[in-house]
Amino acid sequence: MTDIQSEERGKKQKARTKNKEVEIFTLFPSFHLSISPSGAGTGAPPLQSPSNPQIIAGVDEVGRGALFGPVVAAACILPDEVIDELASCGVRDSKQLSATARSRLALKIRAVAVDCQIGVASVREIDRLNILQASLLAMKRAILKLKVTPDLCLVDGNQRIPNLAIAQETMIKGDARSIQIAAASIVAKVWRDELIVRLAVKYPEYDLTNNKGYGTAKHKLALERCGASVLHRVSFSPCRK
């Protein structure tokens, strides 16, 4: 190989590496960004000074569409230096991962996170408040349990968390855009699935081990035959007697 060919090969390799880094940042930005004076996000604010980075918490919920069990949220703060590593390990929207991959990644996320906490809203709260407000309550509880107070919360979806005394930005499809939110979605999903599997021992007739509380045909048939348990959401029409 000539010196010219070697130089050209080196340039191509650098270009590929740069493109990969840009792709990772686009999909999973670290969000160590400043925010507008009002505390509301305005798109793409300028980067914070490296000497004073913001503490960012990603927040997401799972179980919103289930018929059985609580809605569960997680709030996750990650050190900046693990962002690319987690992206390369496969951290993304929890719905795109297998159960085995989620469990593996949840362990890794918890091991490297600055802080990671779970918040729950009960079935009774879901029926009393409605599922949207209960989901926001679970997210608020997860945030307030954090031992490290974030400067900014990135909240999956388009609904702001009411009465949260911390700056927040909503992000539609946030679990595909922010690795902090994606990490929170994985941790929340694994925690809730493990809870439902434990509850399945007490309520075997609903096939909860397989459906995790969601309204599969087998689950709905069991509701017709056996009625709703005390952990079914009676505000959801399939659970009404």
pLDDT, tens digit, for every residue of 158-169?
Answer: 999 999 999 999
Cα gap 206→183, rounded to integer Å? 29
In degrees rounded to 5, what are phi and psi of residue 203?
Answer: -125, 65
In degrees rounded to 5, what are phi and psi of residue 118?
Answer: -110, 140
Cα gap 144→138, rounded to integer Å? 10
In degrees rounded to 5, what are phi and psi of residue 161?
Answer: -80, 120
CA atoms within 13 A on the CB side of 1: 8
Measured CA to CA in angstroms, residue 227 lies from 70, 115, 157, 170, 219 at distances of 18, 40, 33, 38, 11
- Alpha helices of the chain — where are they, by DSSP H? 3-27, 83-89, 99-112, 123-129, 131-145, 179-200, 208-211, 217-226
What's the pLDDT tens digit per position in 178-225? 999 999 999 999 999 999 999 999 999 999 999 999 999 999 999 999
Q: How confident is the model at residue 10 (pLDDT cuts 50, 70, 90)?
A: low
In degrees rounded to 5, what are phi and psi of residue 18?
Answer: -65, -45
Cα gap 63→236, rounded to integer Å? 13
Is 90 exceeded by the pLDDT of residue 12? no
Please state, as a whole number, how many other Cβ atoms lie within 10 Å of the Cβ of residue 119. 24
Q: What is the pLDDT of residue 1?
A: 54
